[in-house]
């Protein structure tokens, strides 16, 4: 069974504010080209309508958790982060959320605990137990 994690769309108004440093516009990395609409992309494919242009300089966990698998692949196409694959990304998010002590992550973690990948499920369950034991 595959459970889709909740990735907000632009219409939702959740989390989708542009992530930047406090020092200006989003940071562009090598290998990023600009499309006709001024958006950065690391491949030749079309951008999704809910993609977020963001900086990875101190992003909030909830923003990182909003990245879809397609956007993960596009964002990290020329980065060593892609080696962890999307399931590794989700696993690491679960660990970070569990260590955060922030109860607001429980709904996301409960969905992740139903993920098709056993490693993601295991880490999400660990994070849920950790958060619940701290309350």
Reported as a single tens digit per residue, the pLDDT across 60-75 is: 999 999 999 999 999 8
Say if CB 66 and CB 78 are below 8 A apart.
no
What band does 57 get if pLDDT is binned at 50, 70 and 90? confident
The pTM of the full predicted model, rounded to 2 decimals, is 0.62
Q: Is the pLDDT of residue 48 over 90?
A: no
Give the mean pLDDT of 28-53.
Answer: 44
Say if CB 70 and CB 86 are below 8 A apart.
no
- Token output for 20: 């930047």
- Token output for 6: 């909740």
The total number of residues shown for the chain amounts to 135
Q: What is the pLDDT of residues 5-25, one digit of tens each?
A: 655 444 444 433 333 333 344
Helices of type H across the chain? 61-65, 69-75, 85-100, 106-112, 118-134
């Amino acid at each position: 069974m595959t459970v889709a994690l909740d990735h907000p769309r632009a219409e939702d108004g959740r989390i989708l504010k542009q992530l930047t440093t406090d020092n200006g516009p989003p940071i562009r990395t090598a290998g990023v080209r600009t499309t006709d609409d001024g958006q950065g992309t690391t491949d030749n494919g079309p951008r999704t309508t809910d993609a977020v242009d963001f900086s990875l300089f101190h992003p909030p966990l909830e923003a990182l958790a909003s990245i879809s698998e397609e956007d993960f692949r596009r964002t990290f196409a020329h980065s060593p982060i892609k080696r962890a694959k999307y399931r590794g990304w989700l696993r690491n998010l679960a660990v970070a959320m569990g260590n955060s002590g922030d109860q607001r992550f429980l709904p996301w973690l409960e969905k992740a605990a139903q993920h098709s990948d056993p490693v993601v499920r295991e880490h999400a369950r660990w994070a849920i137990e950790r958060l619940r034991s701290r309350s």
